[in-house]
Structure 1
Amino acid sequence: MSRNESATPRPQLVNWDVAASTAASLTPAGPTMTPADIDRAVGNIRHLAGVSVDHVHAISRLDAARDLRDSELLVVDRASWSRANTQSFRALMEPALDQLAATKPEVLKSASLTLGGTVTGAQLGAILAFLSSKVLGQYDPFAPARNGLGGRLLLVAPNIISVERELNVDPSDFRLWVCLHEQTHRVQFAAAPWLKDHMTSHIGQLTSGLMDQADTLSERLGAAVRNITAPRARPGGAAAAPQGAASDGVPARPGGVLSLLQAPEDKALLSHLTAVMSLLEGHANVVMDGVDGSIVPSVKTIRRRFNARGASRGPLEKLLRQLMGLDAKMRQYNDGAKFVRRVVSQTGMEGFNAVWEAASHLPTEREIHAPDEWIDRMSLRRHG
């Protein structure tokens, strides 16, 4: 390769700056608050996030909760959440792009000419804009290292405040309840320092498969955006079910963005990642629900109103969640919580915590639905 060729910048399949700016411009406005009220709310959320760690430690019995200095906690707005996610997407995709540039430069060149990074960035930004108003918090283990810290916990203040107002619950109680869930994710990755690299490797393999079809990436992202923003109409004016959905509007399989990574050869990888995500979210839900009135006085009211919240969503909101695959994800997380509760009931929390010791201890997707098989594979002693 000539010196000039090696110096040629690699084409961008995704313009990450455009993705972040598009998401920021399309993000719905948050709750109306004065600057002073915002400052107080942010300070309170940050304080309660710190308070929640001791409770996570007491419930999970993971000593990793005693030292979380390898990650950081940020209370952010919706645009900042979107920007942070574009940074993490970029970090996850760059290795696959490097591999593609080295092994199949003709694919990368063709894709860059056909779709353009700006178009794809705008499409990704539209998806992030929708999600930015739904996420209460997120632990991001894949964030680019900053000040020597690898992961970051993002608590999205406008969304937390919007939901607590919608549910008409005590703000401090609700914020602590949310922080219990999100800090549990931070503790999980501290307890299993190998988990980040394990997930990065599997996601990287999926991304490589996606990059092999880079010339259709823009088309597929565009289809996801169009499905989100413009559901088709039936003859006669009724809204049509989205592609891949049953006649009652419930998709037969996760749709939208999730379907971008569902090529047949990726099924084993997707199954494994589904099991891991079910485990992580299910465990966090169990920890969050492990508190009683002595920690969160109005916890029973919060649980009841939060769980009933889905029933009050309008038809458009329900359709968008189906198209994005969010409802399918919630079902996975419920399965994960059932797995955790069954294992803890049979082996105690100490027995369950064997899951954090090695990648080989992670449950398969089958075992998520049949936890006794995981208990037997791990040779854990059953109670009673």
Structure 2
Amino acid sequence: MQVIDWELAVSTGTRLVRPGPQVSREEARQAVTELRTLSREAEGHVRDFTKIHTETPPQPATIVDRPGWIRANVEGFRVVLEPLTERMGNSDNPPPAIVTAVGSRITGVEVGAVLAFLASRVLGQYELFLPPDPTGQEAAGRLTLVAPNIVHAEREMNVHPRDFRLWVCLHEETHRVQFTGVPWLREYVRSQMTEFLLASDLDLPTILERLRTAADTVADVVRGGDGSLIDAIQSPAQKEILDRLTAVMTLVEGHGDYVMDAVGPSVVPSVADIRAKFASRRESTSKLDKTVRRLLGIELKMKQYAEGSAFVRHVVGKVEMDGFNKVWTSPETLPTIAEIADPDAWIARVIGQPALES
């Protein structure tokens, strides 16, 4: 059973996405070459600073344009949603074929439109979930950098191109180091996502009620409210799972931000100028853009950067990097949502000592 028409999602997204900045063939080639080189340089800086090491050999970053980012994310979505698709296909009471066919096309268009919006904004990401390789082996994660968006951002902010590219690579390489250096982390995130999806209420009345709630949420956000579609469509059973997912993603995003800013001053000469202009750029978006970002949960992601970074900074300040790295010991040593806001509680529980006074 196909819940989403993936081919339609790709064609819709690539048709709607805005073109990237105007660059010559030589400028494009130089940007791609430099990003690949800087991603390797950044990985060394990140490993040395975080003290997270792995036996996984370093791989060059994959450099894509906006349509390439859309295609890559559709591949990832298919992998993530596979458990839910299988469950619906094996249901004793599957929806009528016409409902599935029409619904999958509508959803395909919607997913494509969302990806088109995001494809002009994302600078890079570490893709955790990929389809199996040609031999059937489960693929490892992949670091992807969106060259047109990086070039557009550095031009818009008028920052030093090489410095900005290395700064971006420091954040994204931190995610690669996290998920390759902490063997259980990738599977933990996958299991939580699968559990979240399979906790969905799939009966028709519930789906209709969720759609009504989602419509109310859209109206509220347009009026200036703080809701998101993620909150609107989740079931009560999914709330607890989402809290665990939110906690771990806040940790990894905040860790990325912390490492980027901690390493930056020693290897990115203009890091202070870049950080100030980047923060200003985030705040200067249009009202429509802010509304869409809030609906899609992007504002929540920005909040995760700040809260996660504050957690890491506080813990490292109290127990140094070796103490903080106990967070990667097992799922049980990950911080809870409450501990993200109260790092001393995590220190007391995991390190086993009261937090020292500053």
Mapping of residues 1-384 of structure 1, within 5 Å: 11-64=1-54, 67-69=55-57, 73-102=61-90, 104-109=91-96, 112-113=99-100, 115-146=102-133, 149-210=139-200, 212-213=202-203, 242-245=218-221, 249=224, 251-253=225-227, 255-256=228-229, 258-259=230-231, 261-381=233-353, 382=355
Alpha-carbon distance in 2 for matches of 1:198, 1:361 = 12
Letter in 2 for 1:78: R
Higher mean alpha-carbon deviation, 92-101 vs 50-59, is at 92-101
Find the aligned partners of 1:85 and 1:222 in 2 and give their Cα distance: 28
SS of aligned partner of 2:63: strand
Contact 2:166–2:268, Cα closer than 8 Å, also in 1: yes
**Whole-Å separation in 2 of the counterparts to 1:191 and 1:176:** 21
For residue 199 of structure 2, give the secondary structure of its aligned residue in structure 1.
helix
Task: Tell me how far apart the structure 2 counterparts of residues 196 and 292 of structure 1 sit (CA, whole Å).
Answer: 26
Which consecutive residues of structure 1, in runs of 5 or more, have no partner in the other structure?
1-10, 228-240
Partner of 1:306, secondary structure, is: helix
Q: Cα 1:85–1:339, aligned 2, differ >3 Å: closer, same or farther? A: same
- The alpha-carbon deviation at position 218 of structure 1 amounts to 9.9
| Matched residue SS, 1:139 | strand
Which whole-Å CA distance do the structure 2 matches of 1:220 and 1:79 have between them? 31
Measured at CA, do residues 174 and 198 of structure 1 come closer, stay the same or move farther in structure 2, by a change above 3 Å? Answer: same
- The amino acid of 2:103's aligned partner reads G
What is the alpha-carbon distance in structure 1 between the residues aligned to residue 301 and residue 232 of structure 2? 15
**RMSD (Å) for aligned C-alpha atoms:** 2.7
What letter corresponds to residue 90 of structure 1 in structure 2? R
Any conservation in 2 of the 1:123–1:221 contact (CA below 8 Å)?
Answer: no
Q: What amino acid is the match of 1:97?
A: T
Amino acid at match of 2:37: H
SS state of the match for residue 22, structure 2?
Answer: coil
Does the residue aligned with 1:116 lie in a helix, a strand or coil? helix
TM superposition shift of 1:214 = 7.1
The CA deviation string for residues 335-374 of structure 1, in whole angstroms up to 9 with x for no partner, is 1111111111111101111111211111111111111111
TM-score normalised according to structure 2 size = 0.90
Q: Which runs of 5+ in 2 are unaligned?
A: none
Q: Deviations over 1:161-194 (max 9, x none)?
A: 1100011001000000000000000000012111
- Displacement of 1:132 in angstroms is 0.8
Identity %: 40
